[in-house]
Structure formats: structure tokens, C-alpha cells
């Protein structure tokens, strides 16, 4: 709900549980007055206090009033160069060389339905789902206008923000910094939570109190990165899973980003989020408009759990464009860890036959299928099936798999090229690299210049030709290196600051073409695992490979951190071999299945090498996953205890929306003598109902939540078990 009090210049955005308010205040500055638990209304600009602060300058309109300064006011969209020394949302470089922007309110529009962004991912919604507020600001001297867009999803407590900047002057204007989100708080007693790590250790939760100055995370790798995720939380110091006010903010963007929180000298806080300013300089010619990526906010008055569940619900309903929506995703097996690049049709079909007998539904052929690809040193970009390995081509393999009752899936890496390839020999200028410099390689690969339409067109047509006549249901889109030497011959020297962003736009453009060409094919995103696990990619690839690390115990931490923003159905999670290839850990097959089941489920090992007992376990896992598919993918997630908490088993639950069914998963750590007895208190159940546990004993919901369920003592390291609760 959007309410505009025209007389007082007041905008109030209500969701089910929260209120967001701003006001066009004195001199037309758009002030931020409130964001938090829902309130009845009123003009909350009364919370803004004015004082004469030393070294905080005053705009000309204020005259002799030294109490009015942009440096001390909570603003909706801050600018650099006009007297606010805190984090700016916008920095302009004007034709005269100055870096001054001073925006004032000029008008607004309210409309039903959710705005869309051309060429960029965004939450979508019709007239019954969301409302849009468009607020226009203008710097009359610079002749630049800014449109602030707000999407309000009342049911989900979601508020989205996006920005359009238009040059209305006669000379070029340069964008040096543009944030999609600028959010001021008139308090500083907050914690800053980020989700960080590296390759194979993605999205570990880190929490610290705000200190004076700026704390930030971001990426300058050309991708959202393994190291930091474009999702952060600001919260009250005592906030936990089910208590305390918290604010989750995500950026729907897959390239360089920055999320920063500044605690100022006056004990207030500003949060900004947007494209990273590193090597960013966008030229706006007269009449041109730049659109910044969308940011999304959820405020939860009741802790992290409700915040996460709202993000999960709205992502499932209004971001994912899943071609399999309404039907279960197939349980898959991936060929990589069974064969790597050394295989032939007979090997593949022998693995597929064994997997089909266990209940697997989709066979994914990973790297090594295209011409001369016997290791990772050659052939990327030459997207034709290697008939030495696949005499019948991809179509023949897909037909043979179909005869076994399996769908066919395929791995591709469209953004990269090998120097030892036909493509590179024909077009050495198609890679990102300034002239005269030797190449910097990553994984032996170079990066194709996706800012150029002709490069994207060639890749699209090559893969389209390779898939002609192939009955395919799944594509795994991979990216296995960061961007370096970011320079494109398609742009003049003064516009090289656009390349990073144009690259991301090129990736989005090609992904959208793939979606149109193969509307029934599920595309899974991957970037060396979780290097591009962000809401922007989810708009194009409704599931993403969570991490190259498939060790179940490490995955507890990775999937735990991921779950704060992203739903279970979006996380690719597989059972792999033990000892694990990443860290050598030995983990029971049952535990590997329990952890992988909390995601888009599959296997990444040679099932032919399993013992008869292990094969029976795999069959049971697949049957259990299929039985609980709707609960896992569309239920509400409750984090019951985090991994690694003083020996307490990690536990989580998926609960049906009507609270009549739940699947509780528990994984213990390493064992020791004299282990304490553990009791697990459940969440999300109906206290008035009784639940039958694993088809046996009956327990009241209030007892299970208040008193808890006694956990069995594990016998050995890393044991797991599950409780399936069904209301009587």
C-alpha cells in the first residue's frame, strides 16, 4: 500500500508488517523519516532533529540557518559534492569537470503493478501483487534528473528499489558512482552481517557491531564472487532467529558490487548498495538514461527467521522463472566426478543404466564432450560434439538415455575460450585484453568480450547448432575464472569504465536468449560453484550450484549461510564420494544424503562402485526426497540450530504452509565420550495439533516446540537422522 499525503509531501509505504516513509522536506530535499515495524501513520519527520554542527555546511537556501545541513539529515538518495560527507548514492562528473550533484524533489507517480527494468533482472508482479511509486528528483544546474522507483509487495514485506538517471543537458555527463539503495537510520546500535568466504567456502556468516566509519564488502572480480555475497543484514544487537528487528538487503546483480554501512560522527547509520565504483565511469550523452540494478529490502520485526522466509516466498513467487514450475525437478546424476573428461558412450551409458535403476531421473554430461576436449587446456569455444567419444553425437546419447528412462542434461561454459581452440585462432581479438599486453590466464582460460553483440551471437549460434535435434531438458551454465585486463576494442578510451557493467548486461542478454530458445530447459547457474550465487542470476537460472565443495559437513555451513536470503529450491546440492575430494573427510552416505536433500537434489559420484548396501541407501534417499519434494521446495524453512555451535547438532526443518507436515533434519558433529543428552525444540508447528513422528509415536505440537524432542545419541562421527511429522 502506498499513501501520498500531497499537502505535506509525505510518502508512506505499508506492507503487512512494516512501514517505510519519506518526505519532501524544506527546500525540496527528499528526507528519509522511518523504516521499521508497521505503524498506524503520522508524519515521522518529527523524529529529525536540527542543530548547528561544526564543519557541517549549509545549502544556500537555508540562508543564516546553520542548523540545516545535508551532512546531518537522513536522506533518501544522497549525493556527492553538495555538503554531505557520508557515503554517497550518486557521484556525477559534469562537463565542466566538477563533481557536484544536488537533487531536489519535482514530482511523483503511483501505479498498480510492479515496474520492470529493461535488460536487468527484477522482481515481477501484476496489479494484484504489487504497487509502484516513482519519485522524480532533479539537479537543475547539472540538468540531470533521477527517478527513484519503489516496488511494494505488501504480502511479502518486500520493498524494491531501482534508479534511473537521465541527462537532460546539452553535454555529456559521467556517472562515477551509482547506488541502487541508500537507507539512513537515526541510530547506530546495530550489527552488520555479511556472508563471506572463498572458493569452496562460500557464504559463511560473519557478524560484527558497527564501528565508527565505513564497513563494506564487495567484489571487483567481474562477478558477485565467492568471497562476498550481495546480500547483507543490519540488525539490532540482540537480534536472533525469532526476535529483534533486522533489515535484509540484496542486490539483483551479478557483477562488481559494493555494500557499505557507515556509522557517522553523530551516531546514525547509512547503508548503501550498488555497482562497485572501481573502474566504473558511464558516459551519459544528452537524452540518455542509465538504469541501475534493483535492490530489495525486507524488514523483520521478529528476527532472522521471518525475514528469510519472506525472502524465500517472494523469490519463489516473483523472481524465479522456472520452466518446471508445478512439477518436481528431476533427481540428477552428474558425470564429472565419475569420469572427468575421460569417457566414451559406453562408459556414460553404463553409469546411466545403474543410476536409472536406483531412481535417478536426469543424466548430466559435464565437461569433456566437445571436440578435442581431453583436459582443461584446450577447446573452450568450439561447441561441437567430439565424435571420438560420442559417435552418435549428443542426439544419439540423448536418445539412448531416453530409452533408459532418463532425461538428458549438458554442461557448457559460454563466457570463456581456450587459446588452443578454433575460435581463438579465428578471433584472437574477441577476448578482454588491452592491446600490447600478454594475457593473464585463469584456469588456462581467457574471457570472451561479452560486451560485443557479434561475440554473443557467435556463441549462441554455436551452442544452438550443437543442440539441434537434441532432446535436452537441462543446461549447466558454468564460469570458471574472474575477469582481468578488462578492456574492449568496441569502446573508445573514455568509455572503458563501462566494460564491467556492459559485460554483465551481455551475460543477461545471452541468458535471456537461451530461455527463449529452450523454454522447457532448466538452466542451472554455476561459477566454479557458488561464485555467482545472487538474486540477479536467479532471475535467469532458477537454481544455482551452491558450491564446488560437496563435503556434507562443510555444506552445512555453506547452505546455512545461503539460506538467510535464498530458498532451498535454488540451491544445487549433490551427494558425492567419501572420502571427499575437496577435504578428504569421511562422512556416512546417510548424512551426505540428508544434507543434499535440502536443495535441488542429485548425485556426483560413480554409483557403479557402490556396495549393494549403499545402493539400497541411495534408492531410499531418492524415494524419501521425492516423497517430501513439495515440503522441501515450497515449505517454510526454520533454522533450529546452526552448524558448529559448541557441539550442538546442526538442525533445520521444512514446514508446510498449513503447518500440518514437517521434515526435520539433524546432523551431529564428531563424537566423543560422555556426550551430553540433547533435546531439540522445533518451530513452525501448530501448537493445537498432534503430530505422528516417522509413522510412530504421537506428540502434541506445543510440546515439541516448548519442551522439545529427545535426540538419539549418535554412534560415530557425523551421524544424521530425519523426523517426518504428519498431523493426525
In this predicted structure, what is the pLDDT of residue 714? 85
| % of residues, the chain, pLDDT over 90 | 97
Does any domain span residue 309? yes
Q: What's the whole-number average pLDDT of the chain?
A: 97
Please check whether residues 276 and 338 belong to one and the same domain: no
Active-site residue among 268, 374, 512, 614?
614
Give the domain range for residue 58: 2-318
Sequence-distant (6+) residues with CB within 8 A of 546 are 202, 529, 530, 533, 555, 558, 559, 562, 571, 572, 573, 599
256-299 pLDDT, tens digit each: 999 999 999 999 999 999 999 999 999 999 999 999 999 999 99
In this model, does residue 676 exceed pLDDT 90? no
CATH number of the CATH domain containing 709: 2.60.40.1180
- For residue 550, give the nearest of 277, 334, 233 by alpha carbon: 334
Residue that is last in its domain, among 580, 612, 634: 634
Distance CA 310, CA 240 (A): 16
Q: How large is the average pLDDT for residues 506-534?
A: 98
* Range list of β-strands (E), 443-526: 446-447, 474-477, 522-525
Which three-class secondary structure state does DSSP give residue 305? helix
36-67 pLDDT, tens digit each: 999 998 999 999 999 999 999 999 999 999 99
Please check whether residues 405 and 484 belong to one and the same domain: yes
The 10 Å Cβ neighbour count of residue 340 is 14
636 is catalytic: no
Does any domain span residue 100? yes
Does any domain span residue 385? yes
Could you tell me the pTM of the whole model?
A: 0.97
Work out how many domains the chain is built from and give that number.
Answer: 3
In this model, does residue 647 exceed pLDDT 80? no
Element of type H or E holding 247? strand 246-251
Element of type H or E holding 233? strand 231-236
What is the DSSP-derived secondary structure letter of residue 330?
A: P
614 is catalytic: yes
Residue that is last in its domain, among 318, 345, 363: 318
Please check whether residues 62 and 156 belong to one and the same domain: yes
Q: Which residue has the cell 560415530?
A: 716
Please check whether residues 212 and 284 belong to one and the same domain: yes
Q: Residue 104's pLDDT band (boundaries 50, 70, 90)? A: very high
Q: How large is the average pLDDT for residues 228-248?
A: 98
Can you read off the three cell numbers belonging to residue 451? 560486451
Does any domain span residue 166? yes
Please check whether residues 7 and 136 belong to one and the same domain: yes
In this predicted structure, what is the pLDDT of residue 645? 67
In this predicted structure, what is the pLDDT of residue 653? 98
Does any domain span residue 685? yes
Is the bond leading into 477 cis (omega within 30 degrees of zero)?
no
Please give the backbone phi and psi of residue 589, each rounded to the nearest 5 degrees, phi first: -60, -35
Please check whether residues 314 and 339 belong to one and the same domain: no
Sequence-distant (6+) residues with CB within 8 A of 369 are 385, 386, 389, 390, 394, 410, 411
Q: How large is the average pLDDT for residues 115-142?
A: 97
Q: Which residue has the cell 545403474?
A: 354
Which three-class secondary structure state does DSSP give residue 200? coil
Residue that is last in its domain, among 634, 652, 674: 634
Please check whether residues 272 and 355 belong to one and the same domain: no
Does any domain span residue 325? no
Does any domain span residue 596? yes
Active-site residue among 534, 551, 554, 604?
534
678-704 pLDDT, tens digit each: 999 999 999 999 999 999 999 999 999
Which three-class secondary structure state does DSSP give residue 156? helix
Q: How large is the average pLDDT for residues 359-371?
A: 98
Render 61-108 in DSSP notation, one character per residue. Answer: GGTT-TT--TTTS-BSS-BSSSS--S--SEEEE-TTS------EEEEE
Please check whether residues 42 and 129 belong to one and the same domain: yes
| % of residues, the chain, pLDDT over 70 | 100
Please check whether residues 598 and 451 belong to one and the same domain: yes
Q: Residue 646's pLDDT band (boundaries 50, 70, 90)? A: low
Which three-class secondary structure state does DSSP give residue 54? coil
CATH number of the CATH domain containing 408: 3.20.20.70
Q: How large is the average pLDDT for residues 210-217?
A: 98
Distance CA 368, CA 380 (A): 10
In this predicted structure, what is the pLDDT of residue 41? 80
Distance CA 664, CA 77 (A): 44
Q: Residue 644's pLDDT band (boundaries 50, 70, 90)? A: confident
In this model, does residue 444 exceed pLDDT 80? yes
Q: How large is the average pLDDT for residues 719-727?
A: 97
In this model, does residue 494 exceed pLDDT 70? yes
Does any domain span residue 327? no
Sequence-distant (6+) residues with CB within 8 A of 446 are 416, 417, 418, 419, 424, 431, 432, 433, 439
Please check whether residues 157 and 94 belong to one and the same domain: yes
Q: Residue 599's pLDDT band (boundaries 50, 70, 90)? A: very high
In this model, does residue 118 exceed pLDDT 80? yes
Distance CA 542, CA 557 (A): 22
Question: Is residue 183 packed enough to be buried (19+ CB in 10 Å), middle (13-18) or exposed (0-12)?
Answer: buried
Please check whether residues 271 and 373 belong to one and the same domain: no
Q: How large is the average pLDDT for residues 528-550?
A: 97
Please check whether residues 184 and 301 belong to one and the same domain: yes
314-340 pLDDT, tens digit each: 999 999 999 998 899 999 999 999 999
368-408 pLDDT, tens digit each: 999 999 999 999 999 999 999 999 999 999 999 999 999 99
Element of type H or E holding 243? none
Amino acid at each position: 500500500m502506498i499513501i501520498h499525503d500531497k499537502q505535506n509531501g509525505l510518502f508512506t509505504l505499508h506492507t503487512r508488517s512494516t512501514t517505510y516513509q519519506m518526505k519532501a522536506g524544506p527546500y525540496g530535499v527528499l528526507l528519509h523519516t522511518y523504516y521499521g515495524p508497521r505503524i498506524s501513520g503520522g508524519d515521522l519527520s518529527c523524529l529529525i532533529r536540527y542543530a548547528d554542527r561544526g564543519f557541517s555546511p549549509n545549502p544556500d537556501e537555508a540562508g543564516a540557518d546553520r542548523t540545516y545541513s545535508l551532512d546531518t539529515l537522513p536522506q533518501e538518495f544522497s549525493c556527492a559534492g553538495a555538503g554531505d560527507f557520508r557515503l554517497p548514492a550518486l557521484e556525477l562528473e559534469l562537463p565542466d569537470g566538477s563533481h557536484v550533484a544536488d537533487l531536489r524533489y519535482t514530482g511523483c507517480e503511483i501505479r498498480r503493478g510492479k515496474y520492470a527494468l529493461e535488460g536487468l533482472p527484477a522482481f515481477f508482479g501484476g496489479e494484484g501483487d504489487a504497487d509502484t511509486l516513482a519519485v522524480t528528483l532533479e539537479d537543475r544546474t547539472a540538468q540531470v534528473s533521477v527517478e527513484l522507483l519503489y516496488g511494494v509487495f505488501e504480502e511479502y514485506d518486500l520493498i524494491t528499489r531501482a534508479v534511473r538517471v537521465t541527462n537532460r543537458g546539452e553535454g555529456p555527463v559521467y556517472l562515477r558512482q551509482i547506488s541502487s539503495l541508500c537507507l539512513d537510520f537515526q541510530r547506530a546500535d546495530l550489527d552488520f552481517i555479511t556472508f563471506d568466504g572463498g572458493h569452496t567456502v562460500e557464504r559463511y556468516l560473519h557478524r560484527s557491531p558497527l564501528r565508527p566509519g565505513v564497513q563494506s564488502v564487495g567484489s571487483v572480480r567481474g562477478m558477485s564472487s565467492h568471497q562476498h555475497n550481495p546480500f547483507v543484514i543490519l540488525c539490532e544487537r540482540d537480534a536472533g532467529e525469532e526476535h529483534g528487528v533486522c533489515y535484509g538487503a540484496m542486490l539483483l546483480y551479478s557483477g562488481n558490487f559494493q555494500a557499505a554501512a557507515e556509522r557517522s560522527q553523530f551516531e546514525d547509520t547509512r547503508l548503501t548498495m550498488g555497482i562497485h565504483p572501481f573502474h566504473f565511469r558511464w558516459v551519459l550523452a544528452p537524452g540518455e538514461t542509465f538504469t541501475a540494478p534493483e535492490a530489495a529490502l525486507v524488514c523483520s520485526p521478529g528476527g532472522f527467521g521471518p525475514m528469510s522466509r519472506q525472502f524465500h516466498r517472494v523469490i519463489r513467487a516473483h523472481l524465479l522463472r522456472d520452466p518446471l514450475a508445478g512439477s518436481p525437478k528431476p533427481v540428477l546424476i552428474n558425470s564429472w566426478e565419475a569420469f572427468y573428461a575421460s569417457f566414451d558412450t559406453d562408459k556414460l551409458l553404463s553409469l546411466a543404466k545403474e543410476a536409472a535403476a536406483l531412481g535417478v531421473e536426469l543424466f548430466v554430461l559435464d565437461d569433456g564432450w566437445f571436440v578435442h576436449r581431453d583436459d582443461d587446456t584446450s577447446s573452450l569455444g568450439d561447441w561441437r560434439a567430439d565424435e571420438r567419444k560420442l559417435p552418435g553425437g549428443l542426439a544419439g546419447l540423448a536418445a539412448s538415455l531416453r530409452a533408459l528412462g532418463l532425461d538428458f542434461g549438458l554442461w557448457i561454459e559460454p563466457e570463456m575460450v581456450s587459446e588452443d581452440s578454433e575460435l581463438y585462432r579465428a578471433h584472437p581479438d574477441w577476448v578482454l585484453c588491452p592491446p600490447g599486453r600478454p594475457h593473464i590466464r585463469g584456469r588456462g582460460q581467457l574471457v570472451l568480450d561479452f560486451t560485443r553483440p557479434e561475440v554473443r551471437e557467435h556463441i549462441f549460434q554455436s551452442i544452438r547448432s550443437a543442440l539441434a535435434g537434441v532432446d535436452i531438458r537441462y543446461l549447466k551454465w558454468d564460469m570458471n575464472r574472474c575477469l582481468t585486463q578488462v578492456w574492449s576494442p568496441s569502446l573508445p578510451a573514455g568509455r572503458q569504465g563501462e566494460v564491467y557493467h556492459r559485460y554483465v548486461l551481455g551475460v543477461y542478454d545471452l541468458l535471456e536468449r537461451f530461455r527463449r530458445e529452450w523454454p522447457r530447459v532448466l538452466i542451472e547457474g554455476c561459477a566454479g560453484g557458488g561464485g555467482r550465487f545472487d538474486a540477479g542470476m536467479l532471475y535467469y537460472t532458477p537454481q544455482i550450484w551452491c558450491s564446488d565443495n560437496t563435503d556434507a559437513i562443510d555444506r552445512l555451513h555453506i547452505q546455512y549461510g545461503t539460506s538467510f536470503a535464498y530458498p532451498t529450491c535454488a540451491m544445487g546440492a549433490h551427494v558425492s564420494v567419501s572420502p571427499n575430494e575437496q577435504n578428504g573427510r569421511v562422512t556416512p552416505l546417510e548424512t551426505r544424503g540428508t544434507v543434499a536433500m535440502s536443495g535441488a537434489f542429485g548425485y556426483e559420484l560413480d554409483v557403479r562402485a557402490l556396495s549393494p548396501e549403499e545402493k539400497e541407501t541411495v534408492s531410499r534417499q531418492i524415494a524419501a526426497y521425492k516423497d517430501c519434494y513439495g515440503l522441501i521446495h515450497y515449505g517454510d524453512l526454520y533454522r533450529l540450530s546452526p552448524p558448529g555451535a559448541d557441539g550442538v547438532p546442526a538442525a533445520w526443518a521444512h514446514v508446510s504452509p498449513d503447518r500440518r507436515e514437517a521434515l526435520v533434519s539433524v546432523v551431529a558433529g564428531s563424537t566423543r565420550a560422555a556426550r551430553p543428552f540433547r533435546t531439540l525444540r522445533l518451530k513452525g508447528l501448530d501448537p493445537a495439533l498432534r503430530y505422528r513422528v516417522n509413522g510412530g509415536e504421537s506428540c502434541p505440537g506445543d510440546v515439541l516446540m516448548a519442551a522439545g524432542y529427545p535426540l538419539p545419541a549418535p554412534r560415530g562421527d557425523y551421524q544424521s537422522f530425519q523426523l517426518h511429522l504428519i498431523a493426525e
